């Protein structure tokens, strides 16, 4: 699966990942998991 994000979404995801010490992929996967659960 490919996920296309806007520049602002990518920046926000990158910032969150850096804050949490996780990869962008981990943060995105966690957010999607919470959304669909």
Residues 6-29: pLDDT tens digits?
Answer: 999 999 999 999 999 999 999 999
Task: Determine which helix (DSSP H) or strand (DSSP E) holds 10, and give its type and residue range.
Answer: helix 7-20
Q: Please, which pLDDT band fits residue 31 given cuts at 50, 70 and 90? A: very high
- In the prediction, which pLDDT does 6 show? 98
pTM confidence score: 0.85
**Straight-line distance from the first to the last Cα atom of the chain, in angstroms, rounded to the nearest whole number:** 19
């Amino acid at each position: 699966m490919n996920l296309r994000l806007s520049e602002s979404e990518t920046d926000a995801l990158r910032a969150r990942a850096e804050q949490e010490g996780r990869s962008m992929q981990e943060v995105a996967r966690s957010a999607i998991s919470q959304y669909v659960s």
